[in-house]
Every structure is written in C-alpha cells, then in structure tokens.
A and B are shown apart, each in its own frame.
Chain A
Amino acid sequence: MVRKHTRRAAKAAYAVSLAVAIVIGLIAAGAGAAAPSAAKPTVTIGTKNFTEQYVLGELYKQALEAKGYKVVYKENIGSSELIDTAIKSGKINFYPEYDGVIVTDLAKKPFPKSAAATYAQAKTWEQGRGLTLLNATPFFDSDGFVMLKSTATKNGIKTIADMKKLKSFSYAGFPECKTRITCLLGIKNIYGLKQVKFVPLASISVYTLLDQGKVTAGDGFSTDPQLQTGKYVTLTDTKHIFGFQNVAPVVTKALAGDASLVKIVNAVSAKLTVAAIAAMNKAVGVDKKTPAAVASAFLTANKLK
C-alpha cells in the first residue's frame, strides 16, 4: 500500500518535475531567442588624432569588450569638426570629446564660467541633436599657451598677456585652432595679441617645433607628458580663454539607452584623474608603449577588465 502511494506519488512528482523542466526549458529557449533583440549593441568608437585620444579610445574599447560588447574601432578620424560629422552621419556612435570644445567650438557659444556649467551646456546642446553625453571624467585637458622655459625667462614672460612685449611671434597649433575662440581667435581678440602668426601643425608635434626654434610658442595640452619635464612652461591664462575641458563620451541616444553600457563606461570615466591620464600619456608619448598595452594595464589594475 505504501508502495502504491509512493509509486503514484513518485509518478506525479516525476510528471510535475518534467512539466516544470519543460516549462523552464521553453522559457529559457524563449529568452534565448529573444536575447538577440535585447543583445548588446555594436559600439563603433571613433577617436581624434592624438595620443590622449588613442589612450581614451582603447580604455573604453577594452572595457566594453571585456563585458561582451562588440566594438568596431575607428582610430584617427580627425579633429572635432570631422568626428562630429562622423557621429551625426551614423558612421560611429561613440567618441570621447572635451566638453568645452563642444560648447565653444561646435555650439559656438561663449565659454561658461565653471566646469559644471560647461558640462551641462554641452550635454543640453548634444541632446538637442539626438546625441547625449555620458559622465564626465575628473580630469580636464585644456589647451595651454606653451613655450620653451628659456624663451619665457629671457623675455620676462609669465602670463599670456605678457606676450604683448614681443613685437611679433609665431604660434603653432592643430589646424582647427585657427578658427577657435578657445585658441587662436581668443589669443587675437580677447588678449588683443594681433601680432601673432599662426603656424598649422601637420604631422610634427608642437614640442618638436619649439625645440627646433621654428616657432615662438604653441598650443599644448595640460596632460601632455612633455609638460612634466620642466623644459616648457604654460603661460597663465588670466582671461580663461582656454576654458574647462573635461572629457565625456558623446554617444547616440540609442547607446545611452543601454543601461549596462552606460554603467561600464561611467565606471571607466570615474577613474580617469589628471594623474592617471598624465601617467598614461607619458607611458605612450615618452616611454613609447602602445596605447592598447597601457590601457590594458590600467583597466586590469583597476579591475575594470
């Protein structure tokens, strides 16, 4: 009698388990089949054409790949104007940008008075065009008016305004500097230094030109490793023409809708302090490591990979 009960109970239990298993299996299969539609989007990352951008690009690329995202990497597209065209036309959907550049050079608005205001204005402007910004990095990388320390000391120059002591001088910068209020236009119009002659950079770096005495001064970036060597000085920007320049990834609204992607990217951005980026720039620019290797080491050390 016990056996009959047990056997029926066993059969029932067996049947129920089987049913449950089948249902679970169907749900799992259904979820698996539905997974492609909820699958991770392909991220096409673009970068501009200098060392820090290669490092940033590799950081985001490897962090996303480590978490299962497919990343198409388009390094070295060009300046802000070019890469902005690329994201607007859908050729890429992610690139790291400097928020001050967005406000003053793409949106063509006067430069805001604080880092927070810069980020907020940049984000609002991009959102009006179908894009958005993810979190900003702690580090900022502003342009700087750079010259050889020897030149500055010889002429008694400490601030950009002091440059009026020179009857004429040459200033080297990336081509886009010529039309930017955060660069040459600011030097000419806001500081009133009309005697400046602009020398566009093609492939040679501004520090090489300074070393060879080909230009008086040039457009350097605050996180350039060369600025850590003491050979060059950055003149004080009393009128704040160079603004605030924290980095924030510009992404399409579609990508921003992927909560997991946003979390990964923001986690990386949060770790990028000035010290971190300067160290990585030095590793690539001075110690000649590859951006990929440097990014990998950083991500691994911070458990982001």
Chain B
Amino acid sequence: MIASTFVDALRFIGDNPGLLLHLTAAHLELSLTALGIALVLALPLGLWLGHRHRGLFLALGVSSVGRALPSLVLIAFMTLTPLGIGFWNNTLALTVLAIPSILTNAYFGIVGVDRDVVEAARGMGLSERQILFRVELPLGLPLVMAGIRIAAIFVIATATIAAIAGGGGLGEIIVDQASYGLSGVIGAALCVSALTLVAAVLLTLLQRAASRRPEPNA
C-alpha cells in the first residue's frame, strides 16, 4: 500500500512535467536571487574582515544568531514587511538565512591562512589586495567554498517552505494536497529532494575542483 503511494507519485511526475519544470524554475529563481544577494553582501565583508583579522566577535555572533533563526519564523516575519507576500519578502528571508554561513566561513577561511605565508607575501611587496586575492583566498578557498555550498543547500531547501508565504516553487504542490492529491505531494517532495541532492553534489564537486588549484609560490 505504501509502495502504491510512491508509484502513484512517480506517475504524477510523469504526467506533469511541464508543471514541475515551471515550479522548479520558480524555485531556483527565488533561491539563486537570494543566494546572489547574500554573496554580494556577505562574501566581500567576510573576506575583508578575515584579511584584517578583525571582527571575530561579529563573525561568531552572526554565526550563532544565524543558526538560531528558525527558517519558518523568518519567512513568517518577512510577510509583515511592506514587501508583500510574493517574491521579495521570501527573497529577503532567504538572503538573511544565507548570510551567516557565507560570512562566517569566508572569515575563518581567510583568518586561518598561515601568517608566515602572508608576511612573506607582504615582504615581497604585494599590495593588500594582491595578498588577499593571490595568497589568502586560494589557500582559504576550501572553507570559503564550504560556506557557500552550505548556504546554497540551505536556501534551496528552505525555499520549499516559502510557498506558504506566496513564494511559489515546488513547495506550492507540497502544501496543497487538496488540489494535487497525495500523489502530487509525494511527487513534488521527491522532486525537491532530488533538486537539493543534485545541487549538493554539484557544489561539492565544484568545491573540490576549486580546492585542487595549485598553491601559489610563497
């Protein structure tokens, strides 16, 4: 009986490719917009703070608070803003959720780079900017990329819940059993799980590839 439910779900997926693709596109649009904004806000800040070895308190604080923010609560809070209930309130919520991982990991990635290497580079006359981009960032890349990867997965997964606040995406089917039936809900749940798994694998591969860059001469 349970097997038949999952068989029905697969049939739903087969019967509704257009709908599912459309919702997946909306899902990704929301996720990538939020991730993009978070990267613009948090990545430079994290890298710069790490480079200057300042703001440990900020990085730790943002990390603690960020983890304590239940995603549903944040999505609900954002419906109370003038952004309405559609795309932008959810984008804001997801951006806030993505920032902690990106900021903290960028900071710790750069801060953890061997100071001797940095000093040597400074001794060679490289500018601060050159030090950050040619020495610290390549060496700290694994941790920085890990932060981006964690944030991306978190955002794509949480975008599912955004459906209750008008965000659309695959979550729209999952919260709407009355329209799509149990087969639809299970089908969409399988789809969104597959989506996050694929994203996780891709980003892990990307992270590994980026970490295998040859180290610069120090």
Contacts and interface: CB of A to CB of B under 8 A. Distances in A.
Q: Do A and B truly interact?
A: yes
Interface of A: 78-79, 81-82, 174-176, 178-179, 200, 202-204, 208-209, 212, 214
B128 to A, nearest CB: 48
Contacts, number: 40
Given A78-B178, A175-B176, A175-B179, 4 more contacts: A200-B179, A202-B164, A204-B166, A212-B85
B178 A212 contact: no
Contact of B179 (A178, A203, A209, A212): A178
B172 interface: yes
A204 B178 contact: no
13 contacts: A79-B178, A174-B178, A175-B178, A176-B179, A178-B179, A200-B176, A200-B179, A202-B175, A203-B164, A203-B165, A212-B84, A214-B85, A214-B166
Contacts of B5: none
Contacts of B86: 214
Interface in B161-178: 163-166, 172, 175-178
Query: Number of contact residues on B: which range applies?
Result: 10 to 19
Nearest to A202: B164
Nearest to B86: A214
B176 to A, nearest CB: 5
A175 B166 CA distance: 14
B178 A208 contact: no
Contacts of B163: 202
Interface string B148-190: 0000000000000001111000001001111100000000000
Interface of B: 79, 84-86, 163-166, 172, 175-179
B173 to A, nearest CB: 10
Nearest to B166: A204
B178 A82 contact: yes
Contacts of B177: 78, 82
A202 B178 CA distance: 11
Contacts of B84: 212, 214
Contacts of A78: 177-178
B25 to A, nearest CB: 18
